[in-house]
Amino acid sequence: MGLAIEMIDICKEFPGTLANDHVSIQVAKGSVMCLVGENGAGKSTLMNILYGLLRPDFGEIRINGKTVEFHSSLDALNEKIGMVHQHFMLVEEISVLENIILGREPGKSQFIDYEQARKEIEDLMEKNGMPIPLDALVGDLPVGMQQKVEIIKVLYRGADILILDEPTAVLTPQETDELFNNIERISAMGKTFVFITHKLDEVIRVSDFIIVMRRGKVVGQVKTKDTNKYALAEQMVGKEIPPIRDREEKNGEKVIRLSNVNCHDHKGRKLLKNINLSIHQGEIVGVAGISGNGQQALAQTISGQLLSNSGEITYFGEDFTKVKRRERLLKGISYMPADRKKEGLCMEWSVAENSIAGYHILHQFVKKIGCLHFINESQMNENAIKMIERFDIRTPSHRTKVSALSGGNQQKVVIARETFVQKPKLLIAAEPTRGVDIGAISFIHNYIMDLRNEDTAGLLISSDLDEIFALSDTIVVLFEGEIVCHVKASEISKEELGLYMAGSKRQENEYES
């Protein structure tokens, strides 16, 4: 059979990173190709280029042997490429039928021929063995069913090539099984699948052919039958020596202890399952895992933004289960959130205004006049000026809006606020160096290490394994809200960690701490 997709020498650069570095891939017609790689490896960029959402800086795309140039996803659709996004693009308030025909409504001029649409879609569903209640509202359907709607929608538009971006991330195991059966059936009918995932078990199960990406490059192309998940994990993670750490031996007191902590969101989906974790003074616990496996919930449960639904949290032996964020913050639990633009900073505010957020209730920043608590502006400014000096924050003045600062300097404002005003006893650092330039990365790493050596307990959440290895004393792996691995950093290799992260392995014996 011929080639359905050829991407030749694709390059795409974003400010600061080369997301795709001369990437070439080929996918045969009627096959299932898996694209695997760590976060930031460039998979999504490549697929967005294929789907016309991004334009490559360089390179050529051929579909069925014909060179094409996409200006938008509409062009890709015309070449019979369809994409099912990780986050569904459905309108929850209207019916399944209406969702499927949206954008390609049959019928004459302004009138929609619902009967014809229903017939066509029913044919499609029968042929592909995917029954869906056409008249139900999409919002009422379970996630797995919504995904079927997306797939049928893409097929209804006539796609021959289907890109599935992390399709199993939101599915239950049973739904995943069903999806794989459907993929097998549909690909047998000659459709080509491109499947993006981190989960190696799934890769082995569903694909014919695997392409591994790392740091914007293709580092491996193999037939599925010629490989196994261990080999894949090694290729995915690569072998890089972590920087030499200078850490003092510490044997400190227990700072925080989570026992059997469970958390679920307002829809009842489990975010954290039976978390047991202790962090000691002078210990950094690195949390590895693929984004969206409960890292945010873990950070927020410890910072106090999210109260656990069951289980117990103690802080220096004191019951902290129901203590809220404000009090935890005052008692020395600092938190650098992963998304500094949406959580860590108020982009419209000045450096000075941001420099006291959360700590604005401390007495040194408050002037009480009558019953009104005024912000002590001179103290606030003085504090900001000191921070700028201590952390070498490059800003024209403390009155400058933080949105005008570079990513690294913004992150410095966050880390300064969380550690300077009041020395933390426990620092939660989520993705502390994401989107930060190299100079700032090494500053932040050293600073976190210094804090550790001065007895601060640390929780480091990072999707960068190098960072985890460089800083952590202990490593835990979160997978689907559960700790599946809990080891000393010196006792595990990156390759093995990759397997835990991908969910294809889990630790049998409990870790003693």
Footprint of another protein (CB under 8 A): 14-15, 17, 19, 39-40, 42-45, 48, 53-54, 86, 165-166, 196, 291-292, 303-305, 324-326, 328-329, 335, 337, 339, 342-349, 353, 357-358, 360-361, 366, 372-375, 377, 434-435
Residues 4 and 194: their CA atoms lie apart, in Å, by 11
E strand or H helix at 61, and its extent?
Answer: strand 58-63
Place of tokens 């003092």: 248
Residues 6 or more apart whose CB falls under 8 angstroms from that of 105 comprise 112, 117
* Least distance CB 512 / another protein (angstroms): 34
Question: Tokens representing 390?
Answer: 């201590």
E strand or H helix at 222, and its extent?
Answer: strand 217-223
Residues 486 and 508: their CA atoms lie apart, in Å, by 10
Give 337 or 424: the residue with its C-beta nearer to another protein.
337
* Least distance CB 14 / another protein (angstroms): 5
Give 13 or 208: the residue with its C-beta nearer to another protein.
13
* Least distance CB 487 / another protein (angstroms): 26
* Least distance CB 39 / another protein (angstroms): 6
Give 245 or 361: the residue with its C-beta nearer to another protein.
361
* Least distance CB 302 / another protein (angstroms): 13
Give 42 or 282: the residue with its C-beta nearer to another protein.
42
The residues facing 222 across adjacent strands are 210
Give 19 or 285: the residue with its C-beta nearer to another protein.
19
Residues 325 and 291: their CA atoms lie apart, in Å, by 23
Give 220 or 292: the residue with its C-beta nearer to another protein.
292
* Least distance CB 190 / another protein (angstroms): 29
* Least distance CB 410 / another protein (angstroms): 13
Task: Tell which residue, 436, 432, 497, has the closest CA to residue 462.
Answer: 432
Give 90 or 329: the residue with its C-beta nearer to another protein.
329
Contact 433, 402 (CB under 8 A): no
Task: Tell which residue, 309, 332, 327, has the closest CA to residue 258.
Answer: 309
Residues 203 and 187: their CA atoms lie apart, in Å, by 15
Give 132 or 329: the residue with its C-beta nearer to another protein.
329
Residues 6 or more apart whose CB falls under 8 angstroms from that of 243 comprise 466, 470
* Least distance CB 178 / another protein (angstroms): 24
Task: Tell which residue, 385, 388, 380, 386, has the closest CA to residue 410.
Answer: 388
* Least distance CB 116 / another protein (angstroms): 35
Give 294 or 344: the residue with its C-beta nearer to another protein.
344
E strands of 71-167, at which residues? 81-84, 161-165
Question: Tokens representing 329?
Answer: 């913050």
Task: Tell which residue, 289, 315, 283, has the closest CA to residue 302.
Answer: 315
